């Protein structure tokens, strides 16, 4: 194992020091692949500066996880595990990050976090077949972590997303927390290293102004109480700033309608290409782009259209404020992958279009129907007397964000621009809009 320590300059966090087993892991082929996976998937088609990658994001989360661990006074064992989890949390993102996540889950039953566990533990191949001569016989990352005194099982448990984030119960001002959840919250929580890095990094590279976070104030006001991460009252404004930043970035960047259309076009290309997605965790963006073009037919045509920025037009969009509960409930029945594909075929058939040229996009069923989104706004605030309450008891901003719709729309229909009128009429008839 390497004993060297390197200092890497990062435009977001400045100098990041990394050495020992972390440097050895950073230099592995699984991590180096992430240099070719864009952090904001197709976002660069709208924000030209958004060419940053999962590699630098993982390095940033590693750095912030260590700083948070220091602020919370974690033991050396816990600190080492959470820093390793920060470094490895996105190691199995497929090409173009979240673009193919839904398709991958549909066809393999695993998301990138499930795949990460198997990859780290050495339960599946870590490289493309073409690279057998380079990487065959190398140690698993679990073996490397174990030899450094870091539990690979603990690291994988920290990477895995819990079923619910938050979940604190408040009874008469007393807090009841799951046991030792504070370590997990550094990676998945209302105030975590992952979202703080991606908000700051994505804002920097897109050039938008909504990713500003008072990081130092957050680090100075977080603490552990009853096995849970909480924030002192003095950090409420910083927590509000983080939540507002997240809400605005989701609306303006992550759910930008043009970006959504391009992502769905790329998914269409993969769907009709016949490519096996089960090992795409070993591919980068260029690998997938070249494979799609090389596959010929409609997959190649769609991919080349994206590269030439011949983007499908928005034939119909139903904004959230125009969708009553009846329409929303009806649409929610189509939000799953298979049902949405069936809807695409039905609308395409009604419009006389090739199904590969019609896109239906909508939020998930839970996002569609939920009036209150706790999750990332469920920050626990502790006062000087030790009483813990939800930030929504102190902040109307946090309370308002729980009911804010980050999409702003319930349904998006897109197709080639010459066919938009036909697609709109067909969608209205099929969905009785």
Q: How confident is the model at residue 171 (pLDDT cuts 50, 70, 90)?
A: very low
Instruction: Say yes or no to pLDDT of 16 above 50.
Output: yes
Same-domain pairing of 174 and 232: yes
Instruction: Please give the residue range of the domain that contains residue 325.
Output: 312-363+407-433
| Domain annotation covers residue 289 | no
Same-domain pairing of 327 and 206: no
pLDDT for the residue numbered 372: 47
Same-domain pairing of 337 and 244: no
pLDDT for the residue numbered 175: 38
Same-domain pairing of 93 and 121: yes
pLDDT for the residue numbered 178: 46
The percent of residues in the chain predicted with pLDDT above 70, rounded, is: 93
Q: How far apart are CA 122 and CA 193, in angstroms?
A: 26
Q: How far apart are CA 44 and CA 306, in angstroms?
A: 12
Give per-residue pLDDT as tens, 186-234.
999 999 999 999 999 999 999 998 888 999 999 999 999 988 999 999 9
Show the 3-state SS of 221-271. HEEEECCEEEEEHHHHHHHHHHHHHHHHHHHHHHCCHHHHHHHHHHHHHHH
Region for 363 from its dihedrals, namely left if φ exceeds 0, alpha if ψ lies in -120 to 50, beta otherwise: beta
Q: Which residue has the higher pLDDT, 2 or 185?
A: 185
| Domain annotation covers residue 99 | yes
Same-domain pairing of 396 and 411: no
Same-domain pairing of 144 and 235: yes
| Domain annotation covers residue 201 | yes
Please state the domain count of the chain: 2
pLDDT for the residue numbered 248: 92
Enumerate the H helices of 73-150 as residue ranges: 76-88, 101-108, 112-120, 132-135, 141-147
Give CA 192 to chain center in angstroms: 13
Residue range 246-261: mean pLDDT, rounded: 92
Give per-residue pLDDT as tens, 73-111.
999 999 999 999 999 999 999 999 899 989 999 999 988
Instruction: Say yes or no to pLDDT of 161 above 90.
Output: no
Same-domain pairing of 84 and 219: yes
| Domain annotation covers residue 277 | no
Give per-residue pLDDT as tens, 387-413.
999 999 999 999 888 888 888 889 999
| Domain annotation covers residue 246 | yes
Residue range 341-360: mean pLDDT, rounded: 95
Same-domain pairing of 94 and 200: yes
Q: How far apart are CA 66 and CA 198, in angstroms?
A: 16
| Domain annotation covers residue 373 | no
Give per-residue pLDDT as tens, 71-83.
999 999 999 999 9
Round the average pLDDT of the chain to a whole number and report it. Answer: 91
| Domain annotation covers residue 299 | no
Quick one: which H or E segment has residue 388? strand 388-390
pLDDT for the residue numbered 367: 73
Which residues are CB-neighbours of 275 under 8 A, at least 6 positions away? Answer: 291, 292, 295, 299
Instruction: Say yes or no to pLDDT of 420 above 70.
Output: yes
Same-domain pairing of 347 and 233: no
Same-domain pairing of 49 and 139: yes
- CATH number for the domain spanning 389: value is 1.10.3210.10
pLDDT for the residue numbered 422: 96
Enumerate the H helices of 121-211 as residue ranges: 132-135, 141-147, 152-159, 182-185, 193-206
pLDDT for the residue numbered 376: 66
Give the other-Cβ count within 10 Å of 64's Cβ. 26
Q: How confident is the model at residue 264 (pLDDT cuts 50, 70, 90)?
A: very high
pLDDT for the residue numbered 3: 60
Query: Residue 409's beta-bridge partner residues?
Result: 319
Whether the pTM exceeds 0.95: the reply is no
| Domain annotation covers residue 281 | no
Q: How confident is the model at residue 346 (pLDDT cuts 50, 70, 90)?
A: very high
Residue range 287-294: mean pLDDT, rounded: 97
pLDDT for the residue numbered 65: 98
- For the purposes of burial, counting CB atoms within 10 Å of the CB of 12, is it exposed (0-12), middle (13-18) or buried (19 or more)? buried
pLDDT for the residue numbered 167: 42
Same-domain pairing of 425 and 317: yes
Same-domain pairing of 187 and 128: yes
- For the purposes of burial, counting CB atoms within 10 Å of the CB of 396, is it exposed (0-12), middle (13-18) or buried (19 or more)? exposed
């Amino acid at each position: 194992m390497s004993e060297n320590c390197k200092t890497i300059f990062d435009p977001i966090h400045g100098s990041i020091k990394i050495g020992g087993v972390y440097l050895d892991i950073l230099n592995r082929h699984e991590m180096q692949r992430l240099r070719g996976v864009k952090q904001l998937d197709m976002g660069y088609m709208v924000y030209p500066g958004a060419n940053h990658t999962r590699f630098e994001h993982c390095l940033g989360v590693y750095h912030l996880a260590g700083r948070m661990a220091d602020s919370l006074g974690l033991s050396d064992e816990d600190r080492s595990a959470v820093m390793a989890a920060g470094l490895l949390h996105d190691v199995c993102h497929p090409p173009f990050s979240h673009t193919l996540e839904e398709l991958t889950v549909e066809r393999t039953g695993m998301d990138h976090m499930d795949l990460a566990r198997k990859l780290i533990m050495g339960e599946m191949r870590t490289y493309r077949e073409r690279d057998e001569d380079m990487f065959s016989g190398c140690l698993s990352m679990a073996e490397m972590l174990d030899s450094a005194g870091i539990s690979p099982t603990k690291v994988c448990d920290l990477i895995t997303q819990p079923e619910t984030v938050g979940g604190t119960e408040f009874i008469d001002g007393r807090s009841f927390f799951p046991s030792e959840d504070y370590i997990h919250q550094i990676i998945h929580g209302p105030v975590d290293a992952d979202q703080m890095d991606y908000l700051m990094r994505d804002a920097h590279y897109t050039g938008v102004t909504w990713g500003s976070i008072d990081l130092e104030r957050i680090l100075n006001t977080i603490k552990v109480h009853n096995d849970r991460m909480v924030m002192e009252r003095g950090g409420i404004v910083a927590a509000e700033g983080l939540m507002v930043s997240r809400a605005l970035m989701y609306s303006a960047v992550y759910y930008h309608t043009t970006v959504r259309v391009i992502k769905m076009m790329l998914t269409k290309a993969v769907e009709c290409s016949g490519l096996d997605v089960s090992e795409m965790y070993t591919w980068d963006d260029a690998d997938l782009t070249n494979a799609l073009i090389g596959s010929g037919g409609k997959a190649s045509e769609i991919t080349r259209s994206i590269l030439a920025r011949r983007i499908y037009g928005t034939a119909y969009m139903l904004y959230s404020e125009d969708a009553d509960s009846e329409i929303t409930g009806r649409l929610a029945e189509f939000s799953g992958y298979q049902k949405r594909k069936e809807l695409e075929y039905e609308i395409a058939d009604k419009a006389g279009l090739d199904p590969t040229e019609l896109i239906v996009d909508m939020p998930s069923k839970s996002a569609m129907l939920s009036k209150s989104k706790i999750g990332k706004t469920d920050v626990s605030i502790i006062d000087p007397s030790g009483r813990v309450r939800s930030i929504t008891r102190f902040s109307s901003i946090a309370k308002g964000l729980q009911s804010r719709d980050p999409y702003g729309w319930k349904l998006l229909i897109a197709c080639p621009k010459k066919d938009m009128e036909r697609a709109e009429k067909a969608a209205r008839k099929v969905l009785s809009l």
